[in-house]
Amino acid sequence: MISPRDTMILAAAAALAGSPALAAPAAPERAAIVQALSDCRKLTDDSARLACYDKAAAAFDQAETKGDIVVVDRDQARKVRRQAFGFSLPSISLFEKGETQEELENVSGKLASAGRLATGQWRFKLEDGAVWDQIDHNELFKTPKPGMAVRVRKASLGSFLMIIENQRAVRVKRVE
pLDDT average, residue stretch 34-40: 88
Q: Is the pLDDT reported for residue 146 higher than 60?
A: yes
Q: What is the pTM of this model?
A: 0.50
Of 156 and 45, the one with more pLDDT:
45
Closest CA to 172 of 143, 138, 129, 128: 138
Tens-place pLDDT, residues 10-19? 444 444 444 4
Q: What is residue 111's predicted lDDT score, i.e. its pLDDT?
A: 94
Residue 94 has pLDDT above 80, yes or no: no
pLDDT at 34 (0 to 100): 85
CB 153 within 8 A of CB 109: no
The pLDDT, as a whole number, for residue 88 is: 59
Query: How far is it, in rounded angstroms, from Cα 150 to Cα 126?
Result: 8
Inform me whether the pLDDT recorded for 66 exceeds 90. no
Residue from 23, 51, 53 nearest 36 by CA: 53
> pLDDT of 23-36, one tens digit each?
444 445 778 888 88
